[in-house]
Amino acid sequence: MTTIKDIAKAAGVSITTVSRALNGYSDVNEKTRQKIIEIAKQLNYSPNTLARGLVMNKSKAIGLLVSGLTRESTKDNFTFEVLAGVNQYVSEVDYDMVLFSTTSTKQREKTYTQLCRERRVDGAILQGIRVDDPYLQEVVESDIPCVLIDIPIESETVGYVTTDNVLGAKKAVQHLISLGHRQIAMMNGYEFAFVSEQRLKGFQEALFEAGLPFHEHLVANGAFKEERAEQEAVRLLTQHPEITAFFCASDLMALGVMKAAKTLGKRIPEEIAIIGYDDIILASYTTPPLSTIAQNKFAMGYEAAKLLIEMLEGKAQSRVRVLETELKIRESTVKNHG
């Protein structure tokens, strides 16, 4: 079997240079790198020996690749809680975690594989990436294992962690229906978000099972943003004054809908009931406190790290983890509940 030593000898360079060239380090001259890669191919050097012999077994580090880590996203704390869950698990099993923040510009400059090799991580967890993002395709085709949060793709090297979004949405809408609401609007996220598709499905199923019609004109996209949801809710409530309740696909958007109701002088929950999704920290501090579907973001991070490390160590029985959600009833749907 060809070793890194053989390549170094054939190329007339040091073992360290070969190691750095094959690992994608940027301090190796491009010409030298190409030469080393060429020799490695000729000698049938396989990258799994690379993983075993060269990186001293494994680097024992995983990456958390986050898209959309912006100032406004700090309000929903979602990423932070996922991060805390990942961190908890990696510290229990003696791995390290490297945080990569990504944007579409960065993704054009460097492939997922390059990023992982440069930062010496064995695999990565991806959060906040859109289903239509071309980067996703590349991640899935890479031989470096990854676990996706809320994107249902499964293969030899890809697994995912999500919550039961259809059931979660259904619980929210059934709660509104049980309170006597019949004209229910939905503030969804955006197309190309798996959770938006799933939550819309749950919304439709709940209506269907209760024998209520589904009206497409009562569904708006708030793009998971508070301000956008507020604008859309003002539009819906003005055009369709018959609406008595809103199911929002995220708590952040529910905050926007609450603002819209207040702007229009509608009392919550007497004239308009509002339920969110996520159970972010702010949900219980709003006025009135927000009913919501709680999903355990910390557990999502924890399970994603656990799944990825099981995959890296060849111990994963299944590559899919679906977590439960819980209906939290507060005063935005039921008066003086407590």
Residues 303-328: tens digit of each pLDDT: 999 999 999 999 999 999 999 999 99
Q: What is the Cα Rg of the chain in Å? A: 24
- Domains along the chain with CATH numbers: 4-47 (1.10.260.40), 61-164+297-324 (3.40.50.2300), 165-295 (3.40.50.2300)
| Token representation of residue 156 | 């030899």
Per-residue pLDDT tens over the stretch 112-141: 888 898 888 999 999 988 888 888 888 889
Q: Are 123 and 308 in contact (CB under 8 A)?
A: yes
Query: pLDDT grade, residue 111 (50/70/90)?
Result: confident
Mean pLDDT of 143-150: 95
Burial class (CB in 10 A: 0-12, 13-18, 19+), 59: middle
Region 18-33: mean pLDDT is 82
Average pLDDT over residues 280-286: 94
Mean pLDDT, residues 67-92 taken together: 85
| HSE-up of residue 133 (Cα within 13 Å, Cβ side) | 23
- Taking the C-alpha atoms of residue 191 and residue 100, their distance in angstroms, rounded to an integer, is 25
Percent of the chain exceeding pLDDT 70 equals 95
User: Stretch 25-34: mean pLDDT, rounded?
Assistant: 83
Closest CA to 130 of 103, 166, 110: 103
pLDDT of the residue at 226: 95
The Cα 33–Cα 25 span in angstroms is 10
Q: Is the pLDDT of residue 56 over 50?
A: no
Express each pLDDT in 186-232 by its tens digit. Answer: 999 988 889 999 999 999 999 999 999 999 999 999 999 999 999 99
- Reduced 3-state DSSP string for 74-134: HHCCHHHHHHHHHHHHHHHCCCEEEEEEECHHHHHHCCHHHHHHHCCCCEEEEECCCCCCH
What region does 56 belong to: left with phi over 0, alpha with psi -120 to 50, or beta? left
Of 255, 332, 327, which Cα lies nearest the Cα of 295? 327
Q: How many CB atoms lie within 10 A of CB 240?
A: 13
Q: At 337, is the pLDDT very low, low, confident or very high (cuts 50, 70, 90)?
A: low
- In this prediction, residues 49-65 reach a mean pLDDT of 65
